Amino acid sequence: MRLAKFPRVALGHLPTPLEPMDRLSEKLGGPRLWVKRDDCTGLSSGGNKTRKLEFLMADARQQGADTIITQGATQSNHARQTAAAAAKLGMACHILLEDRTGSNDENYVLNGNVLLDRLHGATVSKRGGGTDMNAEMANLAETLHQQGKRPYIIPGGGSNPIGALGYVNCARELSEQADAMGLKIDAFVHATGSSGTQAGLVAGLAAIQSDVHLLGIGVRAPQDKQESMVHDLAQRTADHLGLPGSIDRSAVRANCDYVGAGYGLPTDGMIAALKLLAQTEGLLFDPVYSGKGLDGLIDLIQKGYFDGMQNVVFLHTGGSAALFGYPETFGLPGYTS
């Protein structure tokens, strides 16, 4: 692995724990289920973006940046972790939030991650759904530049070949952790959105020649689009790493059957999965990503997708701060929108 040559700042509590989910495994009656706790990366209530930010923020620093610009959906976990990382490194942070759901619910637009973005001191501004967010970030960078600032743009989700190095690192970490425990992991499942997590894992697993069956559960795009996004970024990440050869297209698998009506819109399966994990394992997942990922995991176990496999690991990508933006979603008495 050639990771050591890339600049990196320590932001996360790594390695994150790998824990069995025995009550859930027993309940579902399939393979033994484990959880890789990337919700415990430590920065501002944790999540998967912290691993990416270790490489992205180091690059920003190396380029002499004093201001970070990024974008995401209203309840973006990426925006929240970026705001925290910028605060920790003494940089200013500008966040552009795209209204992808059309919700005017007060909790959705002000609570959860939005509250935390502001507590970390980020400048938050909102844009309508369907806005060209990359163009908006470029415009803002130009304005800040004219004011004498040195802006650095981090793409949505931190998903580029630099950010994806964080998940190349996670692939290595998980494999070493499993070896040390004498555990053979058959499959690794997680929610996939802007694709950097899966692309980094695909490149990282290729780098260590692992044959773990990696499966992303989509939360936004249809399967073809999601898989080509992941494959394209995995290839660019492998090139950035200096890995020889090309990324096998068949190593990229996304199941996009659990998106429901759209990005950030709750589904019954997500609600049931999220409650099941909260009540069997004491774990909190999020309504936008990891809850839909779990819905996919549980449904695919029941459909026999993992038959013949012994150990399946779910990557907990974090996001529980977003729960407070969706309090009325879970049908609990007293919470109405």
Angle, helices 165-181/223-241, rounded to nearest 10 degrees:
90
Catalytically active residues, by annotation = 76
**70 touches 153 (CB < 8 A):** yes
CB of 333 to ligand PLP, least distance (A): 27
| Torsion, Cα of 216, 17, 158, 300 (10° steps) | 10
Q: Please give the Cα distance from 57 to 65 (Å, whole number).
A: 9
Answer positive or negative: Cα dihedral of 254, 260, 265, 267: negative
Residues 250-309 that bind ligand PLP (CB under 6 A): 286, 289-290
Residue 5 CB burial class (10 angstroms; 0-12, 13-18, ≥19): exposed
Binding of residue 161 to ligand PLP (CB under 6 A)? no
Among 197, 210, 311, 329, binds ligand PLP (CB under 6 A): 197
**113 touches 122 (CB < 8 A):** no
Nearer to ligand PLP, 185 or 322 (CB): 322
Binding of residue 194 to ligand PLP (CB under 6 A)? yes
Binding of residue 47 to ligand PLP (CB under 6 A)? yes
CB hemisphere CA count around 107 (13 angstroms): 13
Nearer to ligand PLP, 67 or 195 (CB): 195
Q: Which stretch binds ligand PLP (CB under 6 A): 15-23, 96-104, 129-137, 187-195?
A: 187-195
Nearer to ligand PLP, 72 or 151 (CB): 72
Going by C-beta distance under 8 Å and a sequence separation of 6 or more, which residues neighbour residue 236?
160, 161, 199
CB of 147 to ligand PLP, least distance (A): 30
**299 touches 333 (CB < 8 A):** no
Number of residues lying near ligand PLP (CB under 6 A):
20
Q: Which stretch binds ligand PLP (CB under 6 A): 189-197, 250-258, 264-272, 273-281?
A: 189-197
* Per-residue contact string for residues 97-136; x = within reach of ligand PLP by CB under 6 A: ----------------------------------------
Binding of residue 75 to ligand PLP (CB under 6 A)? no
Q: Please give the Cα distance from 167 to 207 (Å, whole number).
A: 12
Binding of residue 192 to ligand PLP (CB under 6 A)? yes
Among 25, 44, 45, 77, binds ligand PLP (CB under 6 A): 77
Residues that bind ligand PLP (CB under 6 A): 47-48, 77-78, 157, 159, 191-198, 286, 289-290, 317-319
